[in-house]
A = this chain, B = another copy of it.
Amino acid sequence: MQNENIIKDPNELLEKLDNLHPSDIAYSLKKIENESEDDFFYVLKTMPDEILGEVLLELPDNLREAAYEELSIEKLTDAVDELESDDATDIIQEIEEIDREKAKEIYEGLEEQDKKEIDWLRRYEEDEAGAYMQTELFSAKLKETIGQSIKRLKEAKAEDALENIHQVFVVNDDKSLIASILLEDLIIFDFDKTYEEILNEADEYKYKPFKVSDKTHIDEVAKHVEQYDLSVVAVVGYQDILMGRITSDDILDVIEQNATEQIYQLAGVDEEFEHEDNLINTAKKRAIWLFLNLGTAILASLVIGLFDQTIQAYVALAILMPIVASMGGNAGTQTLAVMVRQLALGDIELENAKDAVKKEVFISLFNGFLFALIMGVIAWIWFDEKLLGLVIGLSMIVNLFSAGFFGASIPLILKKFKIDPAVGSTVLLTTVTDIVGFFSFLMLAKIILL
């Protein structure tokens, strides 16, 4: 679908700008930059301000940063001026990280109203609903007629000051949000009626607004949007005062981002440092995780060291012992992935967690016995020693059971202590499955074989 809209010639791209979505322009620019950085900057500098801002937002991080450095303060100020409040704030903050002075000058060049909104939005923590909301929205007062409000909408749209409007937010004299009426309902009403009349005639719950507080964590907002299948949610402050709105496209990004973070965390990767220009920083961040893992591996080695004489007497043990640890690790990873994801999705909660643990223990015991049998027979035939089969079989049961039990419990315990279950549970679990795996196998061998 993308390909038809990609234009690799700079001048052709500039000609067709009006017919292209900013996302397509950004994608074309990415291709152009691959060929020539000069052409890339040429197109950026030549395109109209009202397109530039939107395109910047769609560029990959590294190209956007390059653009911040290359474009003039005037050009950037004009581009930011055209953006909605949340996007304008994001860009100013990003430029600040690269060049504090430049960001300040751009901010100074904005209109007073824009400055105020940016000041306001900047106060929020980056994971609060307020940091994701845009302040541009369509609202109306109780005493206003629908026709009057639509006239205002028309004017705002003529100035390109409003888009993506799904509903009108009705506020009282204190600016508190009291109703939300979808445009599909609004369009069929008598335009001469006031909002107050409409609301009085309607069922009490019909226009009840979906709202979140500006301090709500964005993940909570995402759950709210998913649960009620919303395309827009209102953001309110103290005493339900209407502050802004968050649209479903922002929520989509949040969900995608959260999933990425979860996958990375389970694998011991810190998402934030993966896009660094300096790869050494990325490598160092990954090294921290590997360092923790090294600790686990050394612990496991110490356990093996306890049995050095057993191994010397019976070298088959050294050959077989990684199998038990590896099977435990894998079975544990299965359990962990299911638990972490279900906890994140809210399918498992702490109160009904017992069932989940029971399920995982059942599965791990089932597979423990299954692979005890399989591996027991293999070891018996391989080394022609029945008792060796018994040892590895018993140790498989013990280790797969503990993989299931701890794979299910560790995320729950972390969650109980308000630690993100995706962070750190892998390394804790590996410690358990490695140590239990090596210890049970070698200890049983010492008792049974020698």
Contact = CB atoms under 8 A, between A and B. Distances in A.
Contact of A367 (B34, B287, B300): B287
Nearest to A374: B294
Given A154-B188, A256-B345, A294 B371 contact: yes
A153 B279 CA distance: 57
Contact of A228 (B23, B282, B340): B23
Contacts of A248: 231, 248-249, 252
B19 A205 contact: yes
Interface in A329-361: 330-331, 333-334, 336-338, 340-341, 345, 347, 352, 359
A77 interface: no
Interface string A223-241: 1111111110000000000
Contacts of A260: 341, 345
Contacts of A363: 279, 282-283, 286
Nearest to A264: B337
A271 B375 CA distance: 27
A80 interface: no
A270 to B, nearest CB: 10
A131 to B, nearest CB: 18
A405 to B, nearest CB: 15
A150 B334 CA distance: 54
B184 A264 contact: no
A162 to B, nearest CB: 8
A262 interface: yes
A298 interface: yes
Contact of A323 (B182, B266, B294, B323): B294
Contacts of A252: 225-226, 248, 251-252, 255
Interface stretch (A38-46, A68-76, A118-126, A311-319): A311-319
Nearest to A34: B352
A330 B290 CA distance: 7
B319 A274 contact: no
A204 interface: yes
A297 B283 contact: no
A18 B203 CA distance: 10
A166 interface: yes
Interface in A1-42: 1-2, 18-19, 21, 23, 34
A304 interface: yes
A212 interface: yes
Question: Size band of the A side of the interface?
Answer: 35 or more
A269 B1 contact: no
A338 B264 contact: yes
Interface in A118-177: 138, 150, 153-154, 157, 162-166
A283 B23 CA distance: 44
A386 to B, nearest CB: 19
Contacts of A316: 308
A224 B150 CA distance: 31
Nearest to A309: B315
A362 B287 CA distance: 13
Contacts of A180: none
Contacts of A262: 259, 263
A294 B367 contact: no
B185 A187 contact: no
A139 to B, nearest CB: 14
Contacts of A226: 249, 252-253, 256
A34 to B, nearest CB: 8
A75 to B, nearest CB: 24
A290 B371 contact: yes
Contacts of A341: 260, 263-264
Interface in A81-106: none
- Tell me which of A153, A226, A322 has the highest count of chain B C-beta atoms within 10 A of its own C-beta: A322
The 3 A-B pairs with the shortest beta carbon distances in the complex, nearest first, are A259-B259, A267-B337, A229-B249
Given A263-B266, A300-B326, 15 more contacts: A1-B223, A18-B203, A18-B205, A164-B184, A231-B249, A259-B262, A260-B341, A264-B341, A268-B333, A290-B334, A291-B374, A294-B371, A301-B320, A308-B315, A318-B318
